[in-house]
A and B are shown apart, each in its own frame.
Chain A
Amino acid sequence: MIHIRLEPRLSTPRWVSWASPVVSIILALMVGAVLIAAQGASPIEAYAAMYRGALGSGFGFAETLVKAIPLMLAGLGVAIAFRMQLWNIGAEGQLWMGAWAAAGVGLFLYAAIPMPPWLAILLMMLASMLAGGLWGAIPGALKAYLNVNEILTSLMLNSVAIFWVLYFVDILWRDPGGLGFPNTAPLDKAIWLPKLGALLFFLPPTHRVHLGLAFGIIAAAFMWYALSKMQWGYEVRVIGLNKRAAGFAGMPIARNIVLVMFLSGALAGLAGMSEVAGVAHRLQRGLSPGYGFTAIIIAWLAKLNPFAIILVSILFGGLLVAGEQIQMTMGLPASISLILQGLILFFVLAGDVLSQYRIRFR
């Protein structure tokens, strides 16, 4: 039997830190190729189709950006919590709650009270952040005050949230004119999130990229500032690293746990709003194909760095578009993109070890 031993490195060579994600992606694609070949399709053809679909055309890249928006918002959300060693894996449910609240404001409040469209959009944003935030604050408060494992509670609340929202989509808010499709009536066009249009001059003029992209970038900038320039960001890190030490230093631990989980959920909620107001323009089944779960991988791959999260989100947005593409053109299951996500994460996790340790065989 071969024995593998890991020896700590004294310093990490620079090539290791950039080679690790690149090699990981290549290895994941290679394993993916085996699976595609096992389905009787040509991996080269499939990857070529994936590339063409996601990046090979202006329209494809625009769709990649559209998918990247909810991913980056939710990814930033889970990253804030991860900074404090809080495992919020409830972004999916928080996103759905945000979408629900935004749709409620857009469909009913806007119709009931006359207001300018920009105000309605602002209220939709606030409502979604409040709903997602409170949904995240529940596991936060349970963790802070009763020491209940937040991984499991945040996850369980995903299913509760989705059932809750579907009750509205299918029954209470269902559009009677929807031809049997379970969805709400469309939002008034005036309160759709504006398309970025000619601002993104490098994309074809009819692209669907909307203002949500700006939300993501602004949120990333805020998060970077709060976590690396403010006293509060320092507290979050210390509490994450050592609760006892933070307690002795007089940092308010319980309050920060609830606050961080609220902010985390609020960003995921905003992702839900941006899907409702920017893409679907209504609340519907299948609004999120699991953005909240992919966000976890993104946050981790980006090493919780807010700007890296934006870039990794675009990469994963491309992966989702590519998955749909090969489903349509080659009849391969779109689940290949989920498999690739898992594989990339496996290889990156293993690769990170190499940046800290040397491998010795004996």
Chain B
Amino acid sequence: MNEAFIIATLAAAIRAGTPVVYATIGEIFAERAGVLNLGVEGMMLVGAVVGFMVGVNTGSATTGLLAAMIAGGLLSLIHAFLTVTLYVDQVVSGLALTIFGTGLSAFLGQDYVGVSGPQFAALKIPVLSQIPFLGPILFEHDILVYLTFLLVPLAGYYIHRTRPGLHLRAVGENPATADVMGVSVARTRYFYVFVGGVLAGLAGANLSLAYTPGWIEGMTAGRGWIAVALVIFGFWQPGRAMLGAYLFGGVQSLQFSLQTIGVVIPVYFLGMLPYVFTVLVLIIATQEQVRRHIGAPAALGIPYKRGER
């Protein structure tokens, strides 16, 4: 293995991991507020198709991206309404959202399969991309990749170092106490579920407008679910979750790079890799959580009913 191969693989890992970074950060916000949203896959798919459709019709990838964020956000409000206002079981509501989103995206996108549309082009960052080794890995991507370099540290800072972040954690850990502190549990949960939906929509558009431009039914291929798994792997911390997403991206891009250097493994087994990887990652992360006494936000999955504290 030579240096060019390593650089190409790592750069590909970052590109492949970026959509998952967005989806994972979004799910971290929702779960930090105490709402498990298993609808990420569905919201990503709708984001992918809406982003692409609007992109094609306006000719602007940026407009498509914004539309995808709105679409993801709106879908997430269904989940917020059912689980926060109506106390519906979060697992079932999220599954329903994924099924609905899968159907809706196929329905909306039927005339867009095989159409070509606008896309975010790669922008080399002038000075930084000249850094040996790291430059081509980190700084020869599209704008969506660079945005995650800002989003992830900001999300970590927001959650741990700001007052709204404190309220967010309070609502997820102990909603009754947050309520007494004067924080509206329902409003907080709605807001962060919506943030999760917006980021999932963005993640979908990242696929259809940048990573693999175009629309194909079911093009997320389980990435929304992998995002939910990476939240656990990341211990609900944006930074560690980003690392997990890049690991996933590495496994994903390994499929292609192994073929280019002539390693012969049937595509079927390469295709299994990301999913087997995710199962292994979950096992390892769960053991580490037990050892280090880290857990999910204490109120995750539990509806908050004021009268029944």
- Residues in chain A near residue B85, CB distance under 8 A: 4, 6
Which residue of A is nearest B232, CB measured?
Answer: A149
- The segment from A205-213, A280-288, A339-347 found at the interface with B is A339-347
Checking A152, A159, A337, A338 against B229 with a beta-carbon cut-off of 8 angstroms, the contacting residue is: A152
Q: A152 vs B278: C-alpha distance in the bound complex, in angstroms?
A: 9
User: Is A157 in the interface zone, CB < 8 Å from B?
Assistant: yes
- Distance (whole angstroms) from the CB of B303 to the closest CB of chain A: 10
- Are B92 and A163 in contact, with the CB atoms below 8 A? no
- Residues in chain B near residue A171, CB distance under 8 A: 266, 268
- Are B103 and A342 in contact, with the CB atoms below 8 A? yes
Which residue of A is nearest B92, CB measured?
Answer: A300
Q: A357 vs B107: C-alpha distance in the bound complex, in angstroms?
A: 35
- Are A156 and B222 in contact, with the CB atoms below 8 A? yes
User: Is A35 in the interface zone, CB < 8 Å from B?
Assistant: yes
- Are A346 and B82 in contact, with the CB atoms below 8 A? yes
- Are A146 and B103 in contact, with the CB atoms below 8 A? no
A sample of 15 cross-chain residue pairs with beta-carbon separation below 8 angstroms, ordered by A number, consists of: A89-B95, A146-B287, A149-B229, A149-B286, A152-B225, A163-B269, A335-B103, A335-B110, A338-B102, A342-B104, A346-B93, A349-B82, A349-B88, A349-B92, A353-B87
- Are A333 and B88 in contact, with the CB atoms below 8 A? no
User: Is B153 in the interface zone, CB < 8 Å from A?
Assistant: no
Residue among B93, B97, B100, B232 with most chain A CB within 10 A: B100
- Are A156 and B229 in contact, with the CB atoms below 8 A? yes
- Residues in chain A near residue B4, CB distance under 8 A: none
Interface residues, chain A, with chain B CB atoms under 8 Å away: 4, 6, 8, 35, 39, 87, 89, 142, 146-149, 151-153, 155-157, 159-160, 163-164, 166-167, 170-171, 293, 296-297, 300, 333, 335-343, 345-346, 349-350, 352-353, 357
Q: A50 vs B97: C-alpha distance in the bound complex, in angstroms?
A: 24
- Are B91 and A87 in contact, with the CB atoms below 8 A? yes
User: B84-114 toward A: CB 8 Å interface, digit per residue (1/0)?
Assistant: 0111110111011101111110110010000
Q: A148 vs B233: C-alpha distance in the bound complex, in angstroms?
A: 11
User: Is B271 in the interface zone, CB < 8 Å from A?
Assistant: yes
A156-B279, A349-B86 given; name 18 further pairs at CB < 8 Å: A8-B307, A39-B107, A146-B287, A147-B286, A152-B228, A152-B282, A156-B222, A156-B229, A160-B275, A160-B276, A170-B268, A335-B106, A341-B100, A342-B99, A342-B102, A345-B100, A349-B88, A349-B93
- Are B107 and A153 in contact, with the CB atoms below 8 A? no
Checking A8, A35, A153, A349 against B279 with a beta-carbon cut-off of 8 angstroms, the contacting residue is: A153
Checking A164, A293, A338, A340 against B106 with a beta-carbon cut-off of 8 angstroms, the contacting residue is: A338
Ranked nearest first, the 7 interchain pairs of A and B with the lowest CB-CB distance are A342-B100, A338-B103, A335-B106, A339-B103, A167-B268, A345-B96, A156-B275
- Are A346 and B96 in contact, with the CB atoms below 8 A? yes
- Are A156 and B283 in contact, with the CB atoms below 8 A? no
Q: A149-B282, A155-B225 are in contact. Are A350 and B100 (CB under 8 A)?
A: no
- Are B107 and A339 in contact, with the CB atoms below 8 A? yes
- Residues in chain A near residue B226, CB distance under 8 A: 156
Q: A167-B266, A335-B103, A336-B107 are in contact. Are A147 and B96 (CB under 8 A)?
A: no
Q: A268 vs B147: C-alpha distance in the bound complex, in angstroms?
A: 43
- Residues in chain B near residue A296, CB distance under 8 A: 95
Which residue of B is nearest A138, CB measured?
Answer: B279
- Are A156 and B225 in contact, with the CB atoms below 8 A? yes
User: Is B53 in the interface zone, CB < 8 Å from A?
Assistant: no
Q: A295 vs B251: C-alpha distance in the bound complex, in angstroms?
A: 31
Q: A156 vs B107: C-alpha distance in the bound complex, in angstroms?
A: 25
User: Is B151 in the interface zone, CB < 8 Å from A?
Assistant: no
- Residues in chain A near residue B275, CB distance under 8 A: 156-157, 159-160
Q: A163-B269, A338-B102 are in contact. Are A152 and B92 (CB under 8 A)?
A: no
- Are B278 and A148 in contact, with the CB atoms below 8 A? no
- Are B268 and A151 in contact, with the CB atoms below 8 A? no
- Are B82 and A35 in contact, with the CB atoms below 8 A? no
Q: A155 vs B269: C-alpha distance in the bound complex, in angstroms?
A: 17
Q: A167 vs B267: C-alpha distance in the bound complex, in angstroms?
A: 9
User: B287-309 toward A: CB 8 Å interface, digit per residue (1/0)?
Assistant: 10010000000000000010100
- Distance (whole angstroms) from the CB of A333 to the closest CB of chain B: 5
Which residue of A is nearest B230, CB measured?
Answer: A152
- Residues in chain A near residue B95, CB distance under 8 A: 89, 296-297, 345
- Residues in chain A near residue B243, CB distance under 8 A: none
- Are A164 and B268 in contact, with the CB atoms below 8 A? yes
User: Is B272 in the interface zone, CB < 8 Å from A?
Assistant: yes
Which residue of B is nearest A143, CB measured?
Answer: B286
- Residues in chain A near residue B86, CB distance under 8 A: 6, 349-350, 353
Q: A296 vs B85: C-alpha distance in the bound complex, in angstroms?
A: 23
Checking A39, A166, A293 against B268 with a beta-carbon cut-off of 8 angstroms, the contacting residue is: A166
User: Is B183 in the interface zone, CB < 8 Å from A?
Assistant: no
- Are A153 and B282 in contact, with the CB atoms below 8 A? yes
Q: A326 vs B55: C-alpha distance in the bound complex, in angstroms?
A: 29
Q: A311 vs B307: C-alpha distance in the bound complex, in angstroms?
A: 37
Q: A6-B86, A338-B102 are in contact. Are A159 and B222 (CB under 8 A)?
A: yes
- Residues in chain A near residue B38, CB distance under 8 A: 151
- Distance (whole angstroms) from the CB of A358 to the closest CB of chain B: 13
- Residues in chain B near residue A333, CB distance under 8 A: 106-107, 110
